[in-house]
Structure 1
Amino acid sequence: MKVALIADVHANLPALEAVMKHAWGKGCEAFWNAGDSVGYGAFPEEVVTLLRRHAVNVVGNYDRKVLDVKKKGGFRKQAGMPEKQMAFNWAYENLSEESRRWLRSLPEQLRMEVEGKKVLLLHASPLSPKEHLSKETPLSRFEALAEAADADLVVCGHSHRPFTLRAKGTVFVNPGSVGRPDDEDARASYATVFLRKGVFRLCHYRVEYDVERAADEARRRGLPEPFAQMLLRGTDLGSVLAEDEPPCGSERTTRASAGELLDSARKLAEVCGAEEGHARQVERLALELFDLLRPVHGLGEPERLWLQCASILHDIGWIEGGSGHHKTSQRLIQDSPLLEGFSSRERRIIGAIARYHRGSLPRESHFHYQAICEKDRFTIRELASLLRLADGMDSSHGAIVREIGLRLEGSRLLLECRVSSPAFCERESAEKKKDLFELTFGRELKIEWIQA
């Protein structure tokens, strides 16, 4: 009997399909899956469907974290990187209830007897669902695990590193990761075992697959760019973030100058056919609000630049139509190759600011918002509130607001808008769009309209 050993698919359908095709070509009759079937990738439902049909499965620690997302009717806050929290929450929301029930039904360990050999299938180690085993693990530890396993063959995953090792008569094999390798080799990893009459033979394989499809689908479905980069580079999330981004809340570290970044933003706006007059008016008003409110928000030049770029780009989503154009703007800002010089973190921040210029307010159930650290999320709320208000102050696209002023009256702020005409549209829209400002800054905002 020849069996394909797989692990850590992480919702990567193109990789799983390529591995299955390769394994069938090698004469495999069955698949044993060591868990972590979902999380990070863009295809959780499709992967579960395929594994249910073709594999013997156990549950992994990431599968458990996905299933444990909902606590008392809300999303659970996960410790660690916000990107990981987003991965769990997004996977949960994109699995059917039937698939969730199936994942919950899977055992942590599965014992089988095949061709006279005792086999133990599990995710991490015989003694812990979270222990990372690799070639660097001391032999003494493997010997202790061999005694606990009471098996001839232990099939595990979790570490994403392929290896085969013998200890006290037990063979441990990790086939590596099908869907999210982290050894700087982007190819899918799996192994085969041939069992006959009490003898088995193991082979490891790396398989080319359409990694661009997997990465592009992650982007298309709104997952953070680092998730796509993990696949393209064959590395883990921490390594991608360390290479691409400064720590949360730190200063901008891109090499491009502010002028170059603004030129890049204007180029993308032009290509997308954004209305230049409206964009320039919103940009002017947003920056004037930022400058007038410096004593209140205490933000600096990097944040001002993010607001300026978001103002330039906030309506580029109209290239795909008006419905949901704010969400399209966000996606284009995050993904467009024409927007050069920005880090992944800056793209996420600017995209989120643009996304909230209209529609619903920021909330943690928005997956893209979850993927941003808490300090940056608060900055986004502050800057988006200014863009939202500035957009409302030019709702007719007529550049009616000529001058603005701001003063403190007790516990409230008074915004004076000098206009060239009655500004009926602007009055109504600005009143509606001051909602995020008042929530974020905790002050009532009164707007006075003065016709010159």
Structure 2
Amino acid sequence: MNILVISDIHGNYPALAAVSQAAAPFDCAHILNCGDSLVYAPFPNETLDWLRRHQAFSIRGNTDDRVIKLLKGKSFKKPSKPEKRIMYTRTAAALTAENQSYLLELKKKKILRLGQAFIGLFHGSPADHEEFLSADTPDKRFKELARETSCEVVLTGHSHSPYHRRAGGVHFINPGSVGRMMDGRPDASFAILRLDNGRIEVDLHRCPYDVEAVVRAICDHQLPPIYGEMFRTGSKRVE
């Protein structure tokens, strides 16, 4: 059984479409999404429509949490900068009724049994919704987390850092970010998880996408142009 693992789409539908095409030859039985599906690229409905249409197993991430607060008539303290807040307010205002309902129903974690494996979906980690686990996280931390879960596979996002680590008998996998990699390469990131009679294998992948389509959409929506440069350069910020 092949499974497409994605995270941190950040409203970047052109990147998601490219990942969908790149993953097609693997004939994946399921799609697992570890959250932060929205905010920063202006394609919220296209993104959630795709997840719903493909019946992806999805959880919510911290950017999704803030959009949910706005949908509930609440506000949030961070981010405080106007050029960041507008990315959230515009996203919440743009969502269709169907996608509002879909987002409001998402949970912070999900445990699935696929084949013979129990798989946990978390945004940050099993211990903390916003914990940053990366390829450089010490083994000690992964071993601590392994003792806190009964899952054979733990899928996370949030850090935008692709990795496959094994500790305490648990496979920890982060597919990286579909829509907003921050390592200097804008290419989308995803993982293929293979389950075969108890064997667990993982391949990490990158694929190019139409970055300029995102830059044009940011301009067309009169959103801060700094985000266009972030997508172009594959960076978290532009000085």
1:4 corresponds to 2:40: no
Amino acid at match of 1:188: A
**What is residue 226 of structure 1 aligned with on the other side?**
226
SS of the residue aligned with 1:166? strand
1:60 corresponds to 2:61: yes
Q: Aligned runs of 1:19-418 on 2, under 5 Å?
A: 19-54=19-54, 55-69=56-70, 78-236=78-236, 239-240=237-238, 243=239
- Flag as ranges the 4+ runs of structure 1 deviating above 3 A: 74-80
C-alpha distance in 2 between matches for 1:203 and 1:70: 37
Amino acid at match of 2:58: N
Amino acid at match of 2:167: A
The alpha-carbon distance between structure 1 residues 76 and 155, as it changes in their structure 2 partners (threshold 3 A), is closer
Q: As a proportion of its length, which structure holds more strand?
A: 2
Deviations 1:115-141 (A, max 9, x none): 211111111100111101002222111
The alpha-carbon distance between structure 1 residues 135 and 76, as it changes in their structure 2 partners (threshold 3 A), is closer
Deviations 1:364-423 (A, max 9, x none): xxxxxxxxxxxxxxxxxxxxxxxxxxxxxxxxxxxxxxxxxxxxxxxxxxxxxxxxxxxx
Contact 1:34 1:58 in 2 (8 A): yes
Contact 1:39 1:88 in 2 (8 A): yes
C-alpha distance in 2 between matches for 1:102 and 1:71: 14
Contact 2:71 2:100 in 1 (8 A): no
The two structures have a TM-score, normalised by structure 1, of 0.51
Deviations 1:179-216 (A, max 9, x none): 01111110000000111111111001100111111111
The two structures have a TM-score, normalised by structure 2, of 0.95
What is the CA-CA distance between 1:71 and the residue it aligns to?
6.5
C-alpha distance in 1 between matches for 2:25 and 2:10: 23
What is the CA-CA distance between 1:149 and the residue it aligns to?
1.9
Contact 1:70 1:76 in 2 (8 A): no
Q: As a proportion of its length, which structure holds more helix?
A: 1
What is the CA-CA distance between 1:76 and the residue it aligns to?
5.1
The alpha-carbon distance between structure 1 residues 76 and 138, as it changes in their structure 2 partners (threshold 3 A), is closer
What is the CA-CA distance between 1:144 and the residue it aligns to?
1.1
The alpha-carbon distance between structure 1 residues 155 and 77, as it changes in their structure 2 partners (threshold 3 A), is closer
Moved more, 166-175 or 145-154: 145-154
C-alpha distance in 2 between matches for 1:103 and 1:117: 27
C-alpha distance in 2 between matches for 1:70 and 1:33: 21
What is the CA-CA distance between 1:75 and the residue it aligns to?
5.8
Q: Per chain length, whose mean CA-contact separation is higher, i.e. which structure has more relative contact order (CA < 8 Å, sep 6+)?
A: 2
**What is residue 376 of structure 1 aligned with on the other side?**
none
Contact 1:18 1:209 in 2 (8 A): yes
SS of the residue aligned with 1:180? coil
What are structure 2's unaligned runs of at least 5 residues? none
Amino acid at match of 1:118: F
What is the CA-CA distance between 1:30 and the residue it aligns to?
2.0
Q: Identity rate of aligned residues, in percent?
A: 36
SS of the residue aligned with 1:69? helix
SS of the residue aligned with 2:147? helix
Number of aligned positions between the proteins? 238
Amino acid at match of 1:213: A
The alpha-carbon distance between structure 1 residues 201 and 230, as it changes in their structure 2 partners (threshold 3 A), is same
What is the CA-CA distance between 1:97 and the residue it aligns to?
2.6
Contact 2:35 2:58 in 1 (8 A): yes
Deviations 1:347-372 (A, max 9, x none): xxxxxxxxxxxxxxxxxxxxxxxxxx
What is the CA-CA distance between 1:101 and the residue it aligns to?
1.6
Deviations 1:328-354 (A, max 9, x none): xxxxxxxxxxxxxxxxxxxxxxxxxxx
Amino acid at match of 1:2: N
Contact 2:154 2:172 in 1 (8 A): yes
Deviations 1:124-180 (A, max 9, x none): 100111101002222111111111122111111000110110110001000000001
**What is residue 392 of structure 1 aligned with on the other side?**
none
The structure with the largest alpha-carbon Rg is 1
What is the CA-CA distance between 1:226 and the residue it aligns to?
1.1
